[in-house]
Structure 1
Amino acid sequence: MIPSPTTDLTDGQVFDAVGIGAGPFNLGFAALATGAPDLRVAVFDAADDFTWHPGMMLPGTHLQVPFMADLVTLADPSNEHSFLNYLKASGRLYPFYIRENFYALRREYSDYLRWAAHRLDSVRFGHTVTDVTHEDGSYRVTVQTPAGARTVRALNLVLGTGTQPWVPDTVDPVALATGDAFHTSEYAHRRTQLADRHRIAVVGSGQSAAEVVADLLETWVDTPHEETGEPRELVWMTRSPRFFPLEYTKLTLEMTSPEYIDHFHGLPTSRRDALGAAQKGLYKGINADLIDHIHELMYMRDVESAPGRVRLMAATSLDTLTSRVDGLRLNVHNDDDGGAHALDVDTTVLATGYGYREPGFLSGIEDRIRRLPDGRFDVDREYSIGVHSDVLVQNAELHTHGFTAPDLGMGAYRNSVIINRIASREVYPVEQRIAYQEFGSSKPAAGTTHQYDDAAPATAPAETGAAPRQEATR
């Protein structure tokens, strides 16, 4: 368990901002908030300890973004909570340098996040936010702590509760309950249970699906069944028309930029939704080197006449997954020719992604949240969903800010904007333009974020809970 802060939480404590959830983005918020020591910040997380995708900690897997996409570097390279400082403290800075690889292993990045969480006194694990209301100019946040319930006050909220594994409704709940079908977020925990399975299907074609397939190709499919000696079968199916690589060219990377966010945010909702659907390959694709590795594994199996059977099926949609006495039946159809058939397997790994789920405590402040006509958050350009601009979100703005929302590399940028907004001054300079290309029909204005008065107070007026500032201009 992460050590508790040196001071206990007490009833009535007042914070300029309370962060709820301590994933990478709110850890980054806490780390960068140390650059504004006058801000009173607390971050609460219900978990007893820090974890980051533990179910996908497979040997050799690495990030899809360079190590500079850590908690702080792209906002404050001198911040002590950087990945490079973690490497120095761990005695691995020179080995990392000699390695000459910008992409940190997923395991070491998780260890880095845990290291940072240990160092941040503002971050409290084992603290569950159960209720939020607003009265007397501030939010009243009820927190269940190891010492009992406490109620604190906050002038601003920063929601970092994250996304949750998503499973389609067509999957039989019985299959999920028995563990015969499970999400990739559980794969590392269930990996040893697959030794006695004959046939496994992997559904989906993102990075997680490819990592699972590579792991099964290396460790499972060509190992005869331990009891019967029969060959195994692996099926990898996706409704995508092909196994898309992650697009990682330089001009595409320029779309992870402040000016593209300006452009995307300014579009009509219908156009944003259409673009979002078309841009999934920009953040949900597979690393090209992993695709090549999978093909090489397939080629070596072919040369060696390996005993297992492997099927790769694109443009194939899952209609239903049902539990049977002898396993699972997947009813599928091909989206190109319409042909339908059934697949019988023992286990299905669902690489079906993640979705945002609103935390229940928001019901207590529903009247202070802006929404679009369809009920989704109406997130302004500077990440607020609050009627009074005092409720901010992390990675809940895919539909308003585009595919930069889940990008680790944009976390420090978003936190700079959020911290400047809460402090009502420029704590961190925020880049306005970084791309060589232009987006939209006209060049964006030179400045799109707030201008701050250095003399402005760090705390908000009691009547609104919102920091005084000029409105953003486009």
Structure 2
Amino acid sequence: MTNAITDINHTGADEAIYDFIGIGLGPFNLSLACLAEPLPNLRCLFLEKKEAFGWHTGMLIDGTTLQNPFLADLVSLADPTSRFSYLNYCKQQGRLYTYYVRENYYLTRQEYDRYCKWAAAQLRNVRYRRNVLDIHYDASLPGYVIAGVDTHNGTPFRYRTRRLVIGIGSEPRLPDCCEGLRGGSRGPIHTANYLAHKSWLQQQRVITVVGSGQSGAEVYYDLLRDCDLYGYTLNWVTRAPRFFQMETAKLTLEFLLPAYIGHFQRLDDAAKRRATQGQRAIHSGINKTLIDRIYDLLDETRHRPGLRTQLMPNLALTACTLDDSGKRFALTFEHNELPERYRHVTDALVMATGYTHRIPPFVRGIHDRIRWDAVGQYVQAEDYAVDITGNEIYVQNAGFEGGITNPDLGLACHRNARLIHAMTGVDTYRAETRTTFQDFSPRADSGFTRFGALPPSSHATSRHASTHRRGWDIAADGVANDAMSDAADGSVDTPRR
């Protein structure tokens, strides 16, 4: 099989020319690696900076689950017969019958992480500890030369490839008012690093969680369970008008299927932003089960003398500094509905403010081969290519082209099937022709006859603009600025049930 890689000592210069090299190994590129593995004429390699596969280890809280059913695994929605499916994982682990009896279609995050590790361990075309530092175009190949160093021993490496698939994920986002404290000895703790700091947090007198997405709710609930045991005061604050539920009606979930991607990609940028704004409750809310658990726990423990907790919506964080002691956080909030400002001092600050897409430094050498928009973001084609030729550089889960579907684990297989089709010209994993019952624009045989076009300005009416009040704005990458769905790489707050 041609993708059984020959890489002498896994270091130095590998003179093979690969059909494509994937940079980064999160769930999306891992899915691509699994779908590419059985294809004998596709020679590929995946480079990962970490020592081993790890999926949001800071948020693998006991009992937390994915928002997607188990069929949204690495391969099943493209190839349910694949040996990398979750059901085959259960079979190989001797757990298929217990899973059958359990009747739980939603994996815990810890279980999903174990499953991904199992799949990654079977791949021979993954190289860990590969820190990519530079990429440049070599017209003589034609293709790209990737250079970097082994993070363990500093040994340089070099690989050559016809195409690139960048899947490096995203980085924790902090509000602008907190950026001055990033990286310091006393900075806010992002939910991405929650478990590493949990023991320290529980030794503090006052803990404040800011942000009301799924991750914020999970951290609040985890801390609430031990609130009276440790005796800390626990605050949960959001600038959203309420702690709202993720929308999971079945017709709504059709907006997370391939048919809607095709419709969304045909919209202009302004329409895409309006559409994403209207779909906020699909990807930025809290699942109903968790909201109910929080409420029930609050009710069950309300009479305990040691329980001190508050939930406060409609408060926008506008300033974050250290107090005079240099040990506590001095926060300023503004109320969204009242003309009032508040000061709050807390010993620990946990930010559930999501993730942001980042442009990796190693693309500097190929900057002129990538299409960029006016604000410096990738311009993606419908098959997720971002290069000027349209068939050399692909990016996973970045850019605005996919809207709220970008971080959804359930769409990974569909996207990767399209990537493989684009790179090989062969539709190996053929998509279903119709994936939704609703039509997002009238079909030719629908009886709705198109007789004219509206000018673009006619779409931007006041009814759209009225939703853009403070606390509901959508950032340029389509992610809600509050209740941020920690989902920029599809890994934490996946927009699903």
Q: CA deviation at 1:6?
A: 7.2
Residues 28-427 of structure 1 aligned to structure 2 (within 5 Å): 28-135=31-138, 136=140, 137-145=142-150, 148-171=155-178, 173-174=180-181, 177-179=184-186, 181-219=188-226, 221-225=227-231, 232-302=232-302, 304-324=303-323, 325=325, 326-389=327-390, 390-397=392-399, 399-427=400-428
Which whole-Å CA distance do the structure 1 matches of 2:50 and 2:305 have between them?
A: 44
Q: CA deviation at 1:119?
A: 0.5
Q: Secondary structure at the match of 1:213?
A: helix
One-letter amino acid matched to 1:202: V
Q: Deviations over 1:236-275 (max 9, x none)?
A: 0111111121111110111112221111111111121222
Q: 1:292 to 1:80 in 2, by over 3 A?
A: same
Q: Deviations over 1:31-89 (max 9, x none)?
A: 00023121000010111111100001111111110111111000001111111111111
Q: 1:7 to 1:437 in 2, by over 3 A?
A: same
Task: Check the 8 A contact 2:317/2:333 in 1, yes or no.
Answer: yes
Q: Deviations over 1:66-124 (max 9, x none)?
A: 11111100000111111111111112221111110100111010011111111011111
Q: CA deviation at 1:150?
A: 2.4
Task: Check the 8 A contact 1:200/1:348 in 2, yes or no.
Answer: yes
Task: Check the 8 A contact 1:21/1:161 in 2, yes or no.
Answer: yes
Task: Check the 8 A contact 1:76/1:428 in 2, yes or no.
Answer: yes
Give the 4+ runs in structure 1 shifted more than 4 A: 4-7, 441-445
Which whole-Å CA distance do the structure 1 matches of 2:444 and 2:80 have between them?
A: 29
One-letter amino acid matched to 1:405: N
Q: 1:126 to 1:5 in 2, by over 3 A?
A: farther
What is aligned with 2:461? none
Task: Check the 8 A contact 1:204/1:351 in 2, yes or no.
Answer: yes
Q: Deviations over 1:289-317 (max 9, x none)?
A: 00000000111122x34422211111110
Q: CA deviation at 1:130?
A: 1.3
Which whole-Å CA distance do the structure 1 matches of 2:298 and 2:176 have between them?
A: 32
Q: Secondary structure at the match of 2:256?
A: coil
- Comparing 388-397 with 207-216, greater Cα deviation is found at 388-397
Which whole-Å CA distance do the structure 2 matches of 1:266 and 1:118 have between them?
A: 39
Q: Deviations over 1:121-146 (max 9, x none)?
A: 11111112111111121111113236
Task: Check the 8 A contact 2:243/2:313 in 1, yes or no.
Answer: yes
Q: Kindly, what percent of the aligned residue pairs are identical? A: 37
Task: Check the 8 A contact 1:257/1:433 in 2, yes or no.
Answer: no
Which whole-Å CA distance do the structure 1 matches of 2:207 and 2:5 have between them?
A: 45
Task: Check the 8 A contact 1:176/1:182 in 2, yes or no.
Answer: no
What is aligned with 2:19? 16
Q: CA deviation at 1:444?
A: 10
Which whole-Å CA distance do the structure 1 matches of 2:381 and 2:252 have between them?
A: 24
One-letter amino acid matched to 2:395: V
Q: Secondary structure at the match of 1:341?
A: strand
Q: Deviations over 1:218-248 (max 9, x none)?
A: 01x21254xxxxxx31110111111121111
Q: Secondary structure at the match of 1:16?
A: strand
Q: 1:172 to 1:127 in 2, by over 3 A?
A: closer
Which whole-Å CA distance do the structure 2 matches of 1:203 and 1:261 have between them?
A: 32
Which whole-Å CA distance do the structure 1 matches of 2:368 and 2:230 have between them?
A: 60
Which whole-Å CA distance do the structure 1 matches of 2:32 and 2:380 have between them?
A: 18
| Unaligned runs of at least 5 residues, structure 1 | 226-231, 446-474
Q: 1:5 to 1:241 in 2, by over 3 A?
A: same
Which whole-Å CA distance do the structure 2 matches of 1:174 and 1:425 have between them?
A: 50
Which whole-Å CA distance do the structure 2 matches of 1:312 and 1:192 have between them?
A: 22
How much is the aligned-residue C-alpha RMSD, in angstroms?
Answer: 1.9
Which whole-Å CA distance do the structure 2 matches of 1:272 and 1:117 have between them?
A: 35
What is aligned with 2:494? none
Q: Secondary structure at the match of 2:45?
A: strand
Which whole-Å CA distance do the structure 2 matches of 1:267 and 1:183 have between them?
A: 34
Q: Deviations over 1:175-200 (max 9, x none)?
A: 75234521001110100112321111
Which whole-Å CA distance do the structure 1 matches of 2:445 and 2:421 have between them?
A: 21
Task: Check the 8 A contact 1:184/1:208 in 2, yes or no.
Answer: yes
| Unaligned runs of at least 5 residues, structure 2 | 447-497
Task: Check the 8 A contact 2:7/2:14 in 1, yes or no.
Answer: no
Q: CA deviation at 1:279?
A: 2.2
Task: Check the 8 A contact 2:207/2:348 in 1, yes or no.
Answer: yes
Q: Deviations over 1:17-36 (max 9, x none)?
A: 00000000000010000231
Which whole-Å CA distance do the structure 2 matches of 1:19 and 1:172 have between them?
A: 31
Task: Check the 8 A contact 2:87/2:96 in 1, yes or no.
Answer: yes
